[in-house]
Chain A
Amino acid sequence: MIRLENLSKRYGRVAAVDDVSLEVQPGEVFGFLGPNGAGKTTTIRVMMGILKPTSGRVILGGHDVEREPEKAKAITGFVPDRPSIYEKLTGGEFLQFVGSLHRMDSQRLQQRRAELLEHFELSDWKDELVEGYSHGMKQRLVLCASLLHEPKILIVDEPMVGIDPRGARMLKDLFLALAKKGTTIFLSTHSIGVAEEVCQRVGIIHHGKLIASGTLDDLYRLAQVEAGKLESAFLELTRDGASAAG
């Protein structure tokens, strides 16, 4: 469902993403782990067509993001790390706007909007301007917007930033439920706990390179740590000078 083929993104001489290849199957939750500045957000921005790749390509649901951007984006939902949204719209209006961008039919849009606002406990706030929302509420509203058109792929960048424990639990349950229904989830995070709890496979990016990829057991073996100690595996694999393999 998601395929990255030799993806590179360079800024001058700096390679933010360096020859990354990976594949995520339908209904799979893939965790994309890496230290700060490793290239996670750049990879995601290239995947969403916000940035152009220097080389390589991104295929979402069979559509090349560079060649068929509209088709690729139509089946994808995106949640960025910072929920910057239109402050002068109400929550309800923002969802209406996003639904219209996805050319959703009016009846379906109203129904989905009500369902999602209810699910994310924002119904009482739907007529308030977004400028009055807290960070967590904005994050939940962006999640609503990303799920509005029932995407086949959900790409999420650092979902747990600024979310309280209750919200975090809600999110993890949501990801698992969506995956069960067949949605493919690409989850960039540096929260080891989230990766352990919800991801079937994990990729670790460091200095722009995908240094490891596989199931949690694969990573424990590769890092030569005890099972269940993803944090140790992560620290071992991202230690500068450590040898890694995919």
Chain B
Amino acid sequence: MRMAQIFLLLSPIFRAWKNDLRAGGRTRWLRRLILLSLGIGLWFGAYWTIKRVLVYFQAVHGLGPELAYQLLLIILLTFFSMLLFSNLITALSTFFLARDLDLILAAPTPPSAFFYSRLVITMGNSSWMVFLFSLPVFAAYASVFHGGALFYLWVLLVLPLFLVIPAAVGALIVHLMVYLLPARKIRDLLFFIGLFAFVLLYFLFRFARPERLVEPEAFGHFLEFLSAMETPSSFLLPSSWATEIFASALFQKPVELWFFYALLLSYALFLPLVTSWVSAAVYLSAWSKTQESRQGRRPWGFLDALLRFVTRPFPEAAKAIMIKDVKSFLRDPSQWSQLFLLAALVVVYLYNFKVLPLERSPIPAASLRIVVSFANLALAGFVLSAVAIRFAFPAVSLEGKAFWILQTAPISLRSLLWGKFWLYLVPLLFFGEILIFLSNLLLRVPSWMMALSLVTVFLMTFGITAIGVGVGAVYPKFDYDHVAEIPTSFGGAVCMILSIAFIGLTVMAEAWPIYLMAMEGLGRGSGARGVWVAAPSLAAVIVFTILAVVLPIRAGLRRLDAMRG
């Protein structure tokens, strides 16, 4: 009976999928095909990369399985942390913010059926991507270490448990937070989730100690290194239990396989049960609290004055749109909480440059610094595009159902899009320049390379921002439940591809002069004379940038106009 009710509560999702699949149309199918090809491409890319890494590890005599084991530990730890964070965010939405909650809670639904159906939705929404991308990892391991059918059987047995645990933990934490915190505002809750995720990411990163994979000599004695390798990160984490089970099947590691499986199984059964008890006890009070929290008085005098000052150079309408966007951003926790992730990204990014073992490379350190700094241009570009997709790409979609206000106002679409472009350009410029400056500082690159990098990232940011805003206007998603849906849409993928293509072109244009200047710098101790070598390349980058700014914005304008039918 209860199972039937759970299925009934889940049925709208399946029916929506079915109807969505039925509603064909050539463009829709083309879109699906492109997405599917992209997914398959990424899937095989991941498989190939991991297989190459594992084959390389095997070449390290006697250390292959140990390194592979350590890598698996890190991968599963990463998956686990991603699952946990994703489940926290999704659980908040499915249990407390979803639009259909009024309807479901007003119906004679048994609490347990409600809880388990919501848990399944939370788990499905948060885990499908990790699940899909864990498969090439396991396939690569099975192929290199001849796992065979037994290994796949273990994957089949372990993976569902591995997904259930973070979903139950996420739901449990969200229930307790909404119940215990003075939840006048959901944003407070999200703030804590963001902070929690940040701290978690930091600790998990340190737990994993990834540098051990490339610095065996740092451990001094070989045996000491081996023994360190054999120590799992933490026996308290389900990712470690899963790794132990897989290691036993793959590397014939002598571990208590059934003990670890029993651990996983018991937690996967016990945690949802505990969470369901907690939910039964606190859900209604917690839900009522979230309902009370939908208003608040906020005097923002200082911010008003600051925004008016900063936007002074812009025309009245553009200024109004900018001020409105900044205020909406700062007051929407689902938007600003992403800044925590951004901060974590920057910390890890810069940390990587700090620990790069440049001195131990066979290539002279001076030229290696320039090579790494050059690669850093592309990397910083990718980071900037990732940030632009999070923030600039949703700029138009965030108008949401209130877009009619701008459509019926006496302003042109052109000023709307340019207003959005300038709004996102300034913080992205600041972010990109800081990122490249600090990483180059850590790399101790010569001043000409620093200057060239700063100029290139300056130009690149114009293109990346315009691609974000423009493609966001080409693929607007005004009807969204959560902001995070916007960048993960089809348009987000197109935006990423175009940004990467633009970064690729820019970096390629500068490869040759940087090589020449690096060589000259090595020979004569100064690359100053050779700066002019970069002039044609910089000119090419300027042309690419102008195209990357003009074309997407123009396409966005055309699309917004075409939306009128």
Contacts and interface: CB of A to CB of B under 8 A. Distances in A.
Nearest to A16: B565
Contacts of B331: 88, 129
A132 B407 contact: no
Interface in A93-137: 93, 96-98, 100-103, 127-129, 131-132
Contacts of B409: 73, 98, 101-102
Contacts of A90: 298
A100 B317 contact: yes
A69 to B, nearest CB: 8
B359 interface: no
B34 to A, nearest CB: 25
Interface stretch (B111-119, B257-265, B322-330): B322-330
A11 B565 contact: yes
Contacts of B401: 82, 84
A101 B321 CA distance: 8
B400 interface: yes
Contacts of A71: 410
Contacts of B294: 131-132
B408 interface: yes
Interface in A29-59: 48-52, 54
Interface in B296-339: 296-299, 316-317, 319-321, 323-324, 327-328, 331-332
B97 to A, nearest CB: 12
A contact residues, range: 35 or more
B412 interface: yes
Contact of A132 (B296, B319, B328): B296
A78 interface: yes
B411 interface: yes
B405 interface: yes
A85 B407 CA distance: 13
Contact of B402 (A52, A69, A84, A100): A84
Contacts of B406: 101
Nearest to B416: A101
A27 interface: no
B412 A89 contact: no
Nearest to A90: B298
Nearest to B331: A88
Contacts of B564: 49-52
A103 B298 CA distance: 25
Contacts of B316: 100, 103
B14 interface: no
A212 to B, nearest CB: 27
A69 B564 CA distance: 13
Interface residues of B, number: 31
A51 B404 CA distance: 11
Contacts, number: 92
Contacts of B327: 88-89, 93
A96 B300 CA distance: 14
Given A97-B324, A101-B411, A127-B298, A85 B565 contact: no
A128 B296 contact: yes
Given A50-B564, A84-B402, A97-B320, A70 B299 contact: no
Interface centre among B298, B323, B332, B410 (most CB of A within 10 A): B410
Nearest to A96: B320
Interface in B388-408: 400-402, 404-408
A49 B407 contact: yes
Contact of B407 (A50, A127, A145): A50
B27 interface: no
A222 interface: no
A74 B410 contact: yes
A80 interface: yes
Interface in A136-159: 145
A101 B317 contact: yes
Contacts of B323: 97
Interface centre among B294, B298, B405 (most CB of A within 10 A): B405
A9 interface: yes
A129 B320 contact: no
B361 interface: no
B295 interface: yes
Contact of A128 (B297, B332, B410): B297
A38 to B, nearest CB: 18
Contacts of B400: 84
A88 B316 CA distance: 21
Contacts of A88: 327-328, 331-332
A80 B401 CA distance: 11
Nearest to B317: A101
A128 B411 CA distance: 27
Contact of B565 (A9, A82, A100, A128): A9
A129 B408 CA distance: 23
A132 B410 contact: no
Contact of A131 (B295, B299, B405): B295
Contacts of A96: 320
A50 B409 CA distance: 10
A8 B564 CA distance: 14
Given A9-B565, A88-B328, A93-B327, A128 B407 contact: no
A49 B405 CA distance: 11
29 contacts: A48-B408, A50-B404, A54-B565, A69-B412, A70-B411, A70-B412, A80-B404, A82-B401, A84-B400, A86-B328, A88-B327, A88-B332, A89-B327, A89-B328, A90-B298, A97-B320, A97-B321, A97-B323, A98-B409, A100-B317, A101-B320, A101-B321, A101-B405, A101-B409, A103-B317, A127-B297, A127-B299, A131-B294, A145-B405
Q: Which 4 A-B pairs have the closest CB atoms?
A: A132-B295, A100-B320, A84-B401, A74-B410
Interface of A: 9, 11, 48-52, 54, 69-71, 73-74, 76, 78, 80, 82, 84-86, 88-90, 93, 96-98, 100-103, 127-129, 131-132, 145
Interface of B: 294-299, 316-317, 319-321, 323-324, 327-328, 331-332, 400-402, 404-412, 564-565
Given A97-B321, A101-B321, 12 more contacts: A11-B565, A49-B564, A84-B402, A86-B328, A86-B402, A86-B405, A88-B332, A89-B328, A93-B327, A100-B320, A101-B320, A132-B295
